[in-house]
Amino acid sequence: MDMEVLHCSQQDMNLIDILWNQDIDLGARREVFDYNHRQKEHELQRQRELEEEKRLDLLREQEKALLAQLQLDEETGEYIPRPPSSAPLQSAVTPLEGTQNVSFTEESGDAMSFDECLQLLAETFPVEETENASVCQDTTAVSAPMMSPEPPALPLATLTPDPLPPPPPPTPTQRMSPDLEQVWMELLSLPELQQCLSMQMEDTLETTTYPLPNSPEVQNPNYSFYPMTNLTEEGTNNVNACPAEFINTFDGSVPSIAPPDNLNQMKAKAPQINTNFGAESFCGVFYPNAVLEESSGPHSLEGTESDTMSDIPNKPPFTSVDLYSLSPEDSFDRGKQNPITELPDSDSGIFSNTSPNASSPGKSVYGEGSFLYSDSDMEEMDHNPGSAESDYSEMFSLNFQPDDLQSAGSVCVGQPQQQQEKKPKQHQTDPAEESGHNNTPFTKDKQKKRSNVRLSRDEQRARALKIPFTVAMIINLPVDDFNELMSKHQLNEAQLALVRDIRRRGKNKVAAQNCRKRKMENIVVLESDLDSLKDEKERLLSEKSQNMTNLKEMKQQLSSLYLEVFSMLRDEKGNSYSPSDYSLQQSTNGSIFLVPRIKKTFIKREDTHLSPV
DNA sequence: ACCAACTGTCATACA
DNA sequence: ACTGTATGACAGTTG
């Protein structure tokens, strides 16, 4: 294993060094370079995983009968043998089954060739799966720290040449012998296998990318990618860690990859980012010259690479400013007090793109992710009608307007023009707002402008009291984090009061917006109900009219029938009864009586007898 | 100047 | 008790 890592990394590092020496933009080149390698090795890894899974299935069946010691597989729900070293391997491998199966089933055309490759691999390296499993375990163990008994990943600050976070101690089978490694390399060179791998890579590119320990940048301790990979893996949990270079490139986008339920873990790990990483430590290495450029200009890579590549613009936030635990005052000053550095180093620097789905407007669940939004991101979301977050994008954008202004130029991806308009406006209106006067409105969106005014007031208040946090942080941090943040900094009473007021106002503002939104929705619903009720009323009236018509017709028919019956009645003398003198009445038992009308008056007075017909 | 709509804020109740 | 949310009411801003 180590040999393989060293072997691959040596080649890779040579290439990298060449690129470095040639002053090539490593941000792009490296990705392509590493990407291919990663794809290939990733495919191999997956093949090994699959093969190992098959082997493990056999072992399970055999050992099930033999071993009394059983263990419940968390993934499959079935009991599997628990050897000292294989048990964690199983649990580490099984999570990948789903992806593998999907990938295999999808490529029906090359299934045979791929299976052949697998078969060849299985026959050639019957024991190597464990090594591969260790790799996978590396990923899964970190991604599911709660589930795995393995020790946590290495401290991020600990940069060792060993790319693997400390998985369980390597067993003899986990290490690849040089011979096997050579065979592996030969296998990799097989055109057929490469074709299969390329097919697999296309699938995995869209879904997942796994970090390979023997990737060059990981291998080299000088590259700070690896810790970032670890970090990301920790944060993204099951999200299938991205390649280190990707993660490094869009550190800010990582949370967006993570499902909402992973935000908590992200949040838990966030401080480590700050404490263990200097932003320049890993960005400056790879983007010594590009950091500032990327932070101020559109990215050529955006849109040309994969979807995840589009998140590159989010890199500057992390590169320039830490999360809130990193000297907030510093970031505050940089973001607001220094107009020059405001563009790249604004508060939005601490924001990263996160799925807003994880946050509900009515709750503080913006939590980590919400305040990690950059305003430009929020604007993008606002301008993206098709996004799922469109419902809440307004509120978010309102929340983060101050950062929007401050960071207008920092991540000017989509609307540099508009943001450039906003920024000078902010500076001009700030003094004006103090006097209660507002200057010309530049923003098209009145809503945004107002929120800007409001939040800029709070910003100014916070600035006046030297509150070392951003308004967005104050408002959107969860209670625990907020309290923790408060406890970390010695704030006087005025500062505390202001911070809590800002938080209260910010939350209440959102609540008011929600309330009004609901109110409007209720009005719409009520109007709709009113319309439907009107329609119902019309329908019922029409039905009533129809029923009246029918009733009238039936009465007429009954009257004619009545007369017809009367015309057929005869007395003893054969004379017909006069309808004016007699009437027909039906008793409860069904019998019909001919009742003299004259006697009706009688009936009232004296109960006369009725003559049955 | 007036007005309507929008928005932020406060006070209060409630969970 | 604290925090967040909901909502009515009020005031400021804006077109």
Distance from residue A140 (CA) to nucleotide C5 (C1'), in Å? 39
Q: What is the pLDDT of residue A538?
A: 97
DSSP helix/strand/coil, A570: strand
CA dihedral A545→A551→A554→A559, nearest 10 degrees, is -120
Residue A339 has pLDDT above 80, yes or no: no
Contact A406, A335 (CB under 8 A): yes
Report the distance from CA of residue A332 to the C1' of nucleotide B15 in Å, as an integer: 35
pLDDT tens-digit profile of A269-311? 333 333 333 333 333 333 333 333 333 333 333 333 333 333 3
Whole-number distance in Å between A354 CA and C13 C1':
33
Q: Could you tell me the distance in Å between the CA of residue A436 and the C1' of nucleotide C12?
A: 9
What sign for the dihedral angle of Cα A123, A124, A127, A131?
A: negative
Q: In what order do the strands lie in the sheet with A592-596?
A: A582-586, A592-596, A611-612
pLDDT score recorded for residue A562: 87
- A335 CA vs C10 C1’ separation (Å): 34
Largest CA distance in chain A: 136
Spell out the SS3 assignment of A114-181.
HHHHHHHHHHHCCCCHHHHHHHHHHHHHHHCCCCCCCCCCCCCCCCCCCCCCCCCCCCHHHCCCHHHH
The whole-angstrom separation of Cα A233 and Cα A117 is 29
Number of Cβ within a 10 Å radius of residue A553: 10
The rounded distance, in Å, linking the Cα atoms of A559 and A442 is: 82
* Contacting residues for A519 by C-beta, under 8 A, at least 6 apart: none
CA→C1' distance for A441 and C14 (Å): 10
pLDDT > 50? residue A547: yes
Q: In 3-state terms, what secondary structure has residue A606?
A: coil
Chain B: nucleotides under 7 Å from a protein CB?
6-11
In this structure, the protein residues whose CB atom falls closer than 7 angstroms to any atom of nucleic acid strand C are A 362-364, 436-438, 441, 446, 449-450, 453, 478-479, 482-483, 503-504, 507-508, 510-512, 514-515, 518-519
| Interatomic CA distance for residues A197 and A202, integer angstroms | 9
The CA-based angle A68-A69-A72, given to 5 degrees, is 120
Spatial separation of the C-alpha atoms in residues A534 and A540, rounded to whole Å: 10
- Residues lining strand B, beta carbon within 7 angstroms: A 398, 446-447, 450-451, 453-454, 457-458, 501, 504-506, 508-509, 512-513, 516
Which nt has its C1' nearest the CA of A513?
A: B7
What per-residue confidence (pLDDT) applies to A599? Answer: 54
Bridge partners (DSSP) of residue A582 are A596
Residue A457 makes CB contacts below 8 A (sequence gap 6+) with: A433
Among A73-87, A352-366, A476-490, top mean pLDDT goes to: A476-490
Residue A323 · residue A271 · CB < 8 Å? yes
The three-state DSSP-derived secondary structure of A165-187 is CCCCCCCHHHCCCHHHHHHHHHH
Report residue A570: phi and psi, to 5°: -135, 145
Structure tokens at A279: 């932003």
Q: In the complex, which nucleotide's C1' lies nearest to the CA atom of residue A440?
A: C14
What pLDDT score does A45 carry?
Answer: 63
The C-alpha atoms of residue A459 and residue A336 are separated, in whole angstroms, by 9
* pLDDT tens string A380-396: 333 333 333 333 333 33
Distance between the alpha carbon (CA) of A518 and the C1' atom of B12, Å: 20
Note whether A372 and A258 are within 8 A (CB): no
Quote the pLDDT of residue A236.
34
C-alpha neighbours within 13 Å on the C-beta side of residue A499: 24
Residue A462 has a pLDDT of: 81
Measuring from the CA of residue A395 to each C1', which nucleotide is nearest? B7
Structure tokens at A91: 């649990």
The 10s digit of each residue's pLDDT in A147-205 is 333 333 333 333 333 333 433 333 333 444 445 545 455 544 544 444 444 444 433 33
Q: Comparing A497 with A231, which gets the higher pLDDT? A: A497
Question: pTM to 2 decimals?
Answer: 0.34
Length A438 CA → B1 C1' (Å): 19
Closest nucleotide C1' to the C-alpha of A514: C6
Question: Tens of pLDDT along A199-254?
Answer: 444 333 333 333 333 333 333 333 333 333 333 333 333 333 333 333 333 333 33
Q: Nearest nt (C1') to A501 (CA)?
A: B9
CA–C1' gap, A63 and C13, in angstroms: 77
Summarize pLDDT for A133-149 with one digit per residue, the tens.
333 333 333 333 333 33
Give me the pLDDT at residue A261, please. Answer: 38
Selection from A82, A218, A109 nearest residue A161 by Cα: A218
Residue A497 in this model has a pLDDT that exceeds 50: yes
Residue A265 has pLDDT above 50, yes or no: no
**What 8-state DSSP symbol labels residue A154?**
P
Q: Note the CA–C1' distance, A364 to B3, in angstroms.
A: 37
Residues A538/A539/A540/A541 CA torsion (nearest 10 deg): 50
Answer whether residue A575 shows pLDDT above 70: yes
As a three-state string, the secondary structure of A187-240 is: HHHCHHHHHHHHHHHHHHHHHCCCCCCCCHHHHCCCCCHHHHHHHHHHHHCCCC
**Does position A542 have pLDDT exceeding 90, yes or no?**
yes
Residue A480's nearest nucleotide, by CA–C1', is: C3
Share of chain A above pLDDT 70, in %: 24
Q: Which domains does chain A have, with CATH numbers?
A: 10-60 (no CATH), 457-538 (1.10.880.10)
A156 and A85 in contact (C-beta within 8 Å)? Answer: no
Q: Which nucleotides of C are covered by protein (CB under 7 A)?
A: 3-9, 12-15
Read off the pLDDT band of A550 (50, 70, 90). very high
| Higher-confidence position of A463 and A314 | A463
| pLDDT tens for each residue of A76-133 | 434 344 444 433 333 333 333 333 333 333 333 334 445 554 555 555 554 443 434 3
CB A140 within 8 A of CB A75: no
Residue A595 banded pLDDT, cuts 50, 70, 90: confident
Q: How far apart are the first and last CA of chain A?
A: 113
Per-residue pLDDT of A517-532, as tens digits, reads 888 888 888 888 888 9
Q: Which residue(s) pair with A576 in the sheet?
A: A570
The confidence band for A10, taking pLDDT boundaries of 50, 70 and 90, is low
